[in-house]
Amino acid sequence: MNKDKTATENKYTLVSSALTSNKGKRLLGMTSTVLILCLFIFFVIKPTISTILETQQQIIDSQLIIGQLDTKTENLNKLRVQYSKIQDDLPILMNAVPAEPDVESLFGQIQTVAQKSNVSITKLENSEVAIAKNNGDQQNDNKFSFSVGGEGSPESISEFLEDLVGMERVIDINTFLITTSTTEGGTSNGFDIQSTAFFQK
């Protein structure tokens, strides 16, 4: 029993003397330094590295977005150049196929053409205009039918038909019928036109 006690005391004495010696002090100092460094790395450097990595990823993402914006800007500039080239033609296009049916304007143009061609208009009627219902299923909802009837000499009727086709407004002539009748006053020439006008949806 005394032997065990003596052996234990000897061990403590050896450890105590090792710790109090210069070599022991240096070993303890190095151990505590390594421990402090590990704690410093864990609590200070690790979050800093994480922040640096996140910042680098944000920079990469920002560069990607800037690249996409540059491409969009370049495309917009190209569109601007193309638009400036056709800008003068846009009113002609809008008159050719207006945004609305604009039946009154069309009939006004027809009346002007008739006066110029020396033709007398006796009938000018339009069908009910189909209004687009935005259901995507309707076909031909961007046009309407109309009919024109009148009288004039064969030359006047021919000129009227030519000017009608050459109007600003885009129309499609479906049928053209000429009638000649003899009366006491002489020969009378009549015409009947079934046509289609277009507008944007």
pLDDT digits (tens, 9 = 90+) for 3-19: 555 555 555 555 555 44
Q: How many degrees, rounded to 5, is the angle at CA 119 between CA 117 and CA 125?
A: 115
**pLDDT tens-place string over residues 133-170:** 344 445 556 888 999 999 988 899 999 999 998 888 88
Task: Work out the pLDDT band at 80, boundaries 50, 70, 90.
Answer: confident
Kindly indicate whether the domain formed by 97-198 is annotated with CATH number 3.30.70.60.
Answer: yes
Q: Smallest Cα–Cα separation from 172: which of 130, 139, 144, 135?
A: 144
Q: CA 44, CA 79: separation in Å to the nearest integer?
A: 52
Q: Is the pLDDT reported for residue 75 higher than 70? A: yes
Indicate the domain borders of the chain.
Answer: 1-95, 97-198
Residues 6+ positions from 109 with CB-CB distance below 8 Å: 167, 168, 169
